[in-house]
């Protein structure tokens, strides 16, 4: 126990950054290229001051340095190629198929190639390695990638990269790209519609096989968490000694407005806002709802066509990772309050909205809050509050069900 504690303390001391301000002056020493340059300079100085035989070492190290720079530089110029992406769509975590066509014009093989597609951030590229490309060949490679970040790939281009043989210098060359890969946010399946959704109460507007909160009575069942007390069948409750609720028809079509705040500055909260918005829109469309969405200044309507939902998810994928610019005006101002508005935003934007005087009883605020934030809204609480942590997206399912008085 004593040895383990001592080793842990030594590890913390040796790994602690005591002078973070000096990192920009010494981090260049992490590169093996500059370490080799220093070794060449030191051997040359020793050869001049101590013994001329050390100049042989200087020559050998200089040759290695020259080979480590010239070889990768020449290799990437000997290889040409293109990457085929098609027009693929996939959610985060799903796999996508990529095809690569190369042409090695050299009479010798080329080793250690890496194909890299720039992602939404510098730390999230799509990459694949190729061990060897034979001389005078036109090979084709196919591989599957699993993007971990929402966005459009590639953002700035595709590259063939190599630092073979010594890793001293990384050379790259741009590849042609055909098509693009659009990665949608993750979604979860939600059941139920927000209370007081807009629909015309005509007989033909209700579905006979869909259970909901409106229309004719279909039957009774036991009480479930989230059911409204207005649906309790008191006669059956008194007869059976437990809560019994009525099941009614669901509207065959309804209208909901979905407003997404794309001005969130915190990247983690923004991604959670987009995940929640994608989940809500997909679930409402699956329940035959007509959804009018607004992402910043873009307005899209999701109807019965599958292409409508795809266009909406494409718009979410193209939201910048750092969010769009904010303005002094409230982004949720709307003159039309005739339909239910589900507004997905962050906690900061919700608290700023409380200072504006254009609230409506038909607005449902779905707020993404930071797990570390401590808040106390002055006027009211949001309709739903979801943590910004990615792993907590599953909490949206029971919370949505309870808030909507779901019957399933």
If pLDDT is split at 50, 70 and 90, which confidence band does 303 have?
confident
pLDDT at 199: 47
Task: Write the CA distances from 373 to 273, 350, 395, integer angstroms.
Answer: 16, 14, 18
Give the highest mean pLDDT range of 61-65, 251-255, 259-263: 61-65
Work out the average pLDDT over 67-80. Answer: 91
Q: State the number of CA atoms in the 13 A half-sphere of 241 facing the CB.
A: 0
> Nearest Cα to 243, choosing from 219, 258, 225, 256?
225
Work out the average pLDDT over 251-271. Answer: 80
pLDDT at 16: 79
pLDDT at 249: 66
For the ranges 105-114, 157-166, 247-256, 313-322, the lowest mean pLDDT is seen at: 247-256
SS3 string, 212-274, reads EEEEEEEEEEECCCCCCHHHECHHHHHHHCCCEEEEEEEECCEEEEEEECCCCCCHHHHHHHH
If pLDDT is split at 50, 70 and 90, which confidence band does 60 have?
very high
Give the highest mean pLDDT range of 68-72, 212-216, 339-343, 399-403: 68-72
Q: Is 84 exposed, middle or buried (CB count within 10 Å of its CB: 0-12, 13-18, 19+)?
A: middle
Work out the average pLDDT over 270-283. Answer: 90
- Locate the domains of the chain by residue range: 74-184, 203-251, 254-323+332-403
Q: How many residues does the chain have?
A: 408
Q: In the CATH scheme, what is the code of domain 254-323+332-403?
A: 3.40.50
Work out the average pLDDT over 238-255. Answer: 77
pLDDT at 66: 93
Q: Does the structure show a pLDDT above 70 at 328?
A: no
4-44 tens-digit pLDDT? 788 888 888 877 777 777 777 777 777 888 888 989 999 99
152-206 tens-digit pLDDT? 988 888 899 999 888 888 899 999 998 889 999 999 888 877 765 554 444 444 5
If pLDDT is split at 50, 70 and 90, which confidence band does 250 have?
low
CATH superfamily of 74-184: Immunoglobulins (2.60.40.10)
pLDDT at 408: 41
379-407 tens-digit pLDDT? 557 788 888 777 778 788 888 887 776 44
Max CA pair span of the chain: 108
> Nearest Cα to 190, choosing from 289, 91, 271?
289
Give the highest mean pLDDT range of 51-65, 225-239, 300-314, 349-363: 51-65
Work out the average pLDDT over 244-268. Answer: 79
Structure-model confidence comparison of residues 289 and 320, the more confident one? 320
Instruction: Name the pTM for this structure.
Output: 0.74
Residues paired with residue 345 on neighbouring β-strands, in sequence order: 367
Q: Is 82 exposed, middle or buried (CB count within 10 Å of its CB: 0-12, 13-18, 19+)?
A: middle
């Amino acid at each position: 126990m004593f040895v383990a504690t001592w080793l842990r303390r030594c590890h913390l001391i040796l790994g602690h950054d005591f002078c973070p301000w000096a990192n920009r002056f010494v981090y260049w020493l992490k590169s093996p290229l500059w370490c080799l340059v220093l070794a060449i300079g030191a051997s040359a100085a020793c050869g001049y001051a101590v013994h001329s035989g050390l100049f042989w070492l200087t020559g050998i190290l200089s040759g290695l340095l020259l080979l480590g720079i010239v070889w990768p530089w020449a290799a990437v110029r000997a290889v040409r190629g293109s990457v085929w992406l098609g027009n693929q769509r996939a959610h985060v975590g799903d796999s996508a198929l990529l095809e690569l066509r190369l042409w090695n014009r050299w009479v010798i093989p080329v080793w250690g190639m890496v194909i890299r597609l720039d992602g939404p951030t510098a730390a999230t590229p799509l990459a694949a390695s190729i061990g060897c490309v034979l001389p005078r060949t036109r090979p084709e490679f196919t591989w599957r990638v699993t993007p971990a970040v929402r966005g459009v790939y590639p953002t700035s281009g595709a590259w063939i990269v190599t630092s073979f043989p010594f890793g001293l210098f990384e050379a790259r060359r741009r590849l042609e790209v055909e098509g693009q890969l659009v990665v949608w946010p993750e979604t979860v399946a939600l059941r139920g519609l927000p209370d007081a959704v807009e629909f015309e109460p005509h007989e033909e507007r209700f579905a006979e096989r869909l259970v909901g909160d409106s229309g004719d009575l279909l039957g009774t069942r036991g009480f479930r968490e989230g059911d409204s007390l207005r649906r309790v069948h008191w006669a059956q409750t008194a007869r059976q000694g437990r809560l019994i609720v009525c099941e009614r028809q669901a509207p065959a079509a309804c209208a909901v407005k979905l407003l997404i705040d794309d001005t969130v500055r915190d990247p983690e909260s923004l991604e959670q806002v987009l995940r929640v918005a994608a989940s809500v829109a997909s679930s409402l469309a699956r329940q035959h709802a007509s959804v009018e969405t607004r992402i910043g200044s873009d307005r899209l309507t999701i109807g019965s066509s599958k292409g409508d939902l795809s266009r909406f998810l494409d718009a979410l994928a193209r939201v910048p990772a750092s969010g769009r610019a904010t303005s002094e005006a409230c982004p949720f101002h709307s003159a039309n309050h005739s339909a239910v508005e589900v507004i997905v935003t962050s906690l900061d934007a919700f608290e700023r909205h409380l200072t504006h005087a254009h609230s409506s009883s038909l607005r449902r605020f779905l707020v993404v809050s930071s797990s570390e934030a401590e808040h106390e809204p002055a006027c009211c609480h949001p309709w739903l509050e979801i943590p910004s942590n990615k792993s907590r997206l599953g909490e949206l399912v029971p919370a949505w069900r309870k808030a909507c008085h779901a019957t399933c």
